[in-house]
Amino acid sequence: MGLAAKRIAPRTSLGWLIAAPLLLDLLWPIFVLLGWETVRIEPGATVVTPFVFVSYPISHSLVGAAGWATLLGVAYWATSRYIRGAFVIGVGVVSRWFLDWVVHAPDLALYPGGTNYELGLWNSMAATLAAEALVFGGGAWLYARSTRATSRGGRLGWWAFVAFVTVAYAANLLGPPPSRVEEVASVTLSLWMMPVWAWWFDRKRVFVVQADLLGRVE
């Protein structure tokens, strides 16, 4: 989603655009380590993941996502005054809740303490792989079509990013389940490097496609 968003908000750094749909997962391990949210490791919980997300209303309820979307969008607007970028960032944060709603087992609430809703695509490996490959592949294709490297770093940094995400995703699916919740949270904290990495190589690329998908809202 972050990669595709570059086509809509070309003046916004890819670092911000990647941080938006990742934000809920950037916050979640911190809240788990603080004891504010709870996850349980249960091999076989779904075909795709061994995690049972017992409680994470601060980071992953729809109301919570809307709140984080507002905060990140306002923070970006305050530093850039680029309203289109701020809007796209806010939508990016909330979009993560709806994408999770498609794949998760019933554990996402509309609001803290509310009823959980999901479609449960994680119960089918084939359907999960097809859906997630479509989203990631489509976003990568749009970003690659919309930008051009101005240096070797912009070219190699981009392709290294794609390769890393692909390998990490495969390792997550094929590797053994972790033994401790603290291990899950600590490893997930490494996601914080993704927006920084995206910011770095995006600075070495230029936008080459005029994006009019939202009209001129500046």
Predicted pLDDT at 107: 87
User: Highest-confidence range of 101-105, 119-123, 135-139, 206-210, by mean pLDDT?
Assistant: 135-139
Identify which of 93, 74, 98, 88 has the alpha carbon closest to the alpha carbon of residue 21: 93
In a domain, 214, yes or no: no
Predicted pLDDT at 215: 45
In a domain, 123, yes or no: yes
Q: Could you tell me if 107 and 52 are in contact, meaning their C-beta atoms sit under 8 angstroms apart? A: yes
Give the side-chain half-sphere CA count within 13 A for 9.
30
Model confidence pLDDT, tens digit, residues 104-133: 888 888 888 877 777 889 999 999 999 999
* Exposure string over 49-72, b if 16+ CB within 10 A, otherwise e: bebebebbbbbbbbebbeebbeeb
In a domain, 119, yes or no: yes
In a domain, 158, yes or no: yes
What distance in Å separates the CA atoms of residue 113 and residue 57, rounded to the nearest whole number?
A: 7
What mean pLDDT comes out for the span 201-216?
70
Predicted pLDDT at 115: 73
Confidence of residue 91 (pLDDT cuts 50, 70, 90): very high
* Alpha-carbon distance values, 183 to 159, 168, 188, 190, 211 (Å): 28, 16, 8, 12, 41
In a domain, 212, yes or no: no
Q: Could you tell me if 124 and 47 are in contact, meaning their C-beta atoms sit under 8 angstroms apart? A: yes
What distance in Å separates the CA atoms of residue 109 and residue 101, rounded to the nearest whole number?
A: 9
Helix axes 152-174 and 125-146, enclosed angle (nearest 10): 170
pTM for this predicted structure: 0.89
Question: Which tokens hold the place of 199?
Answer: 């910011």
Q: Where do runs of H (alpha helix) occur along 105-151?
A: 125-146
In a domain, 215, yes or no: no
In a domain, 217, yes or no: no
In a domain, 143, yes or no: yes
Total residues found in the chain within this entry:
218
Our measurement of the distance from residue 135's CA atom to the centroid of its chain's CA atoms, rounded to an integer in Å, reads 11
Predicted pLDDT at 209: 67
Residue 121 domain boundaries: 2-207
The better pLDDT of the pair 66, 210 is held by 66
Split into its structural domains, the chain has a count of 1
Question: Which tokens hold the place of 112?
Answer: 């803290």
What mean pLDDT comes out for the span 30-44?
93
What distance in Å separates the CA atoms of residue 5 and residue 184, rounded to the nearest whole number?
A: 29
